Amino acid sequence: MKSMSTPFSFLHHLTCARCHEIYEADTQAHLCQCGSPLLASYDLEAAREHLSKEMLREREPSLWRYHELLPVRSPENVVTLGEGMTPLLPLPRLGAQLDMPQLYVKDEGTIPTGSFKARGAAVGVSRAKELGVKTLAMPTNGNAGGAWATYAARAGLDTYIVMPEEAPLITRNECAISGAHLFLVQGLISDAGAIVGRAVKAHQWYDASTLKEPYRIEGKKTMGYEIAEQFNWQVPDVILYPTGGGVGIIGIYKALREMQALGWIGERLPRLVAVQAEECAPIVKAWQEGKTESVLWPHSRTIAFGINVPKALGDFLVLDAIRATQGCALAVSDTELLAAQAQLAQTEGLFICPEGAATLVAAKQLRASGWIKADERVVLLNTGSGIKYPNTVQVSVPLLQPQDELPVSIAG
């Protein structure tokens, strides 16, 4: 009998997240006929036989350590800058102040391109390259554009990107330096999406919009695998996630279900919390009203630009994930999240992005209401580096002349 070698990926087919129609995985695919996102399905029984969590110990500290559970079939198509296995840091000083002694941050600020969007871009671009894509297009709130432009440059793909003119300036520069065709729109990400939608139709480009191709989420789900592995396969009690398009939280939930099927974690799941901004909280509103889908949020705005998404294509999946894990959704104000950003920098030396800071505000509120108990293990997902948002910090610094002494009083 011929011995079969273990495949690099156990990707099996694509499944519609709403009507469960099945699609073949090895051609370029976008939405289901019913208009909903397609999700990658793996042969998890075979994966369970061939792969054990112990085998991971020897592997490189990048998200590709989970390659059997990622969609890229052949290692030659992997486009990587070393993304993944970001630190899971305890926050002892802040945790003591807030009566959450087991408070942690999963810090995506250290990943290439400075945001967790690198995960989706690495896997999405690798798979696009594998499927023969030459040109891709996407709308973005900034970080995803920067990440996709970067990885597409490494893969030699041509990229068209449209972002709101108010998106963080640095993400514009990332796209430009990487040679992407960049356009700004006077409007929101939803307006950018409409422009991209017309262009992909007209030019037959690959539409890399959030959840309009099935593989970006596969990169993002690795945050879930990493959190479980970093806690030695004992999942935490609560994970708080800053939710815009929702891909991160849907991905983490998908990873949790896959890990259960693989026998890597037990029955108990962390309660997933979707955190939004008060002036852009469509998913929170839907959750409070017991709805299964959100309604477009008019005139949305927040300084946490990545979560300024007035209507997410995958809103029903976010709401599913929250409900299935007995989680919740809540909104926080810009004033509170800016204060939390400074508090984390001052107590723990972490300059996180405003989106990540929103999760700290939410954790405080949930601890105060008793929803989070003092003995619970709580993970804040910091989705990016504060360094990408220099303008969120207001500084007023004294200017000295070369002959001046430092105007400080030295005690004692």
Query: Contact positions toward Zn ion, by CB under 5 A?
Result: 16, 18-19, 21, 32, 34, 36
149 binds, among ligand PLP, Zn ion, none (CB under 5 to 8 A by kind): none
Between 51 and 247, name the residue whose CB sits nearer to ligand PLP.
247
Cβ at position 37, least distance to Zn ion in Å:
9
Between 37 and 236, name the residue whose CB sits nearer to Zn ion.
37
| Cβ contacts of 134 within 8 Å, gap of 6 or more | 157, 158
32 binds, among ligand PLP, Zn ion, none (CB under 5 to 8 A by kind): Zn ion
Cβ at position 314, least distance to ligand PLP in Å:
8
Between 21 and 49, name the residue whose CB sits nearer to Zn ion.
21
Between 32 and 121, name the residue whose CB sits nearer to Zn ion.
32
Cβ at position 313, least distance to Zn ion in Å:
12
Between 73 and 311, name the residue whose CB sits nearer to ligand PLP.
311
Question: Are residues 385 and 341 in contact, defined by beta-carbon separation less than 8 angstroms?
Answer: no
Residue sitting closest to ligand PLP (CB): 306
Cβ at position 386, least distance to ligand PLP in Å:
10
- Cα 245 to Cα 49, 276, 378, distances in angstroms: 34, 11, 23
- Quote the CA–CA distance of 119 and 108 in Å, as a whole number: 10
| Cβ contacts of 202 within 8 Å, gap of 6 or more | none
For the chain, give me the number of helices (H) and strands (E)? 12, 13
Cβ at position 276, least distance to ligand PLP in Å:
9
Between 143 and 392, name the residue whose CB sits nearer to ligand PLP.
143
User: In the 8-state DSSP scheme, what is residue 54?
Assistant: G
What would the two tokens of residue 9 be?
């990926």
Binding site for ligand PLP (CB under 6 A): 115, 117, 141, 143-144, 210, 242-248, 306-307, 353, 355, 383-384
19 binds, among Zn ion, ligand PLP, none (CB under 5 to 8 A by kind): Zn ion
328 phi and psi, to 5 degrees? -160, 180
Between 15 and 276, name the residue whose CB sits nearer to ligand PLP.
276
143 binds, among Zn ion, ligand PLP, none (CB under 5 to 8 A by kind): ligand PLP
307 binds, among ligand PLP, Zn ion, none (CB under 5 to 8 A by kind): ligand PLP
CA angle 250, 297, 319 (to 5 degrees): 25
Please tell me the total number of residues recorded for the chain in this structure.
412
Name the nearest CA neighbour of 226 among 239, 207, 243, 208: 239
Tally of CB atoms within 10 A around 371: 17
HEC profile of 129-197 = HHCCCCEEEEECCCHHHHHHHHHHHHHCCEEEEEEECCCCHHHHHHHHHCCCEEEEECCCHHHHHHHHH
245 binds, among ligand PLP, Zn ion, none (CB under 5 to 8 A by kind): ligand PLP
Cβ at position 400, least distance to ligand PLP in Å:
36
